[in-house]
Amino acid sequence: MRVKKTIEYRVPYADTDQMGVVYYANYLEYFERVRNELLRDTDASYKMMEAQGVMLPVIEAVCKYKKSAVYDDLLEISAWVENLKGPKVKICCEVRKNGELLTEGYTVHACVNTETMRPVRPPANIVDLANGSCA
């Protein structure tokens, strides 16, 4: 069973553009917010992984917009590890309002050594997320 993390986020005025909707690039920040919490739930935050010598730079980002969010909307932002392939991990995300899908997408990360920036095996917490064995 897939391990999925969902957080709530109320859209501040600063996140909107001149048209009154959430600026498109902010959705990638929303993806990062929930991704951080997904990892934190494994007791291995980004900070902890970096201290252990592993970083997760984004090497691909995709965001598909279905419907706009606006100021003061309460969003449900979810993330889960979709798959692992070698040193790459794909984390899927979606943004909903009252259960309605607004935006979906994913980021692909390379697991790399903090000093050499060379690919390394994914840390155990990410493997566990991919296998659905974390809670």
- Catalytic residue list: 17
87 near 111, Cβ under 8 Å?
A: yes
Measure CA of the first residue to CA of the last residue in the chain; give whole Å.
10
Which residues lie below 8 Å from residue 131, measured CB to CB, with a gap of 6+? none
Burial of 108-125, coded b for 16+ CB within 10 Å and e otherwise, reads bbbbbeeeeeeebebbeb
d(CA 5, CA 62): 19
